[in-house]
Amino acid sequence: MSQGFNELAEKRRTIYALGPTLPLAEDEVISLIRTAIRNAPSAFNSQSSRALILLGEEHKKFWALTRDQLKKRVAADAFANTEKKLAGFAAAAGSVLFFEDQQVVSGLQQQFPSYADNFPVWSEHSTGIAQYAVWLALAEKGIGANLQHYNPLVDEDVQKAWNIPASWKLRAQMNFGAIEAPAGDKTYIPDSERFIVAR
């Protein structure tokens, strides 16, 4: 079983060249994403992770909102490259926007005051695990993905456009779709710099 997981972990890569077609029906992809997040572990089983799943025109709408925000901030002579990058994201089939519900976090802080400082940190762990779980689930089905972080720049627009609860804090955006071109070779630093084994 662990060998299968490790093979899947190696298969999961950051894919930037994404297309709009999917090898599964949209409802199957939605179910896949929901299941991955639902089963992702969280501190105290808090289940603080939330998601907005965008497909088709709604997905494109998100990247248009992002483009509009960046156009206000990026120098005009540099915006062409930014716009091209965002167009690549919009060309994918969909996006998952990952949130953490701060109402859950603050509730835990009140319930367990001795751990109050840790709950925001553990919330970040939860979203990271949820993101990785979704990425692996997509990779298993041959769906490419990349992870972006345009928050907090787009938070207000997202909240208004999709009626997102005020307590949901945007943490990351994952694009997914057909793999139009594979990722390049991945290099690894030496294990001696990353791991200490004590027996």
DSSP letters spanning the chain: -HHHHHHHHHH--B---EES--SS-HHHHHHHHHHHHHTS--GGG---EEEEEEEHHHHHHHHHHHHHHHHTTS-GGGHHHHHHHHHHHHTSSEEEEEEEEHHHHHHHHHH-GGGTTTHHHHHHHHHHHHHHHHHHHHHHTT-EEEEE--TTTTHHHHHHHHT--TTEEEEEEEEEEEESS---------GGGT-----
| pTM listed for this prediction | 0.95
| pLDDT tens-digit series, residues 73-100 | 999 999 999 999 999 999 999 999 999 9
Q: Average pLDDT of 2-20?
A: 91
Residue 126: pLDDT over 50:
yes
Distance between CA 160 and CA 166 in Å, rounded? 10
- pLDDT of 56 reads 96
Residue 147: pLDDT over 90:
yes
Q: Average pLDDT of 10-37?
A: 97
CB 18 within 8 A of CB 92: yes
- Mean predicted lDDT score pLDDT of the chain: 96
CA distances, 159 to each of 123, 130, 164 (Å)? 20, 21, 4
- pLDDT of 168 reads 98
pLDDT band at 1 (very low <50, low <70, confident <90, very high): very low
Residue 2: pLDDT over 70:
no
Residue 3: pLDDT over 70:
no
- pLDDT of 20 reads 97
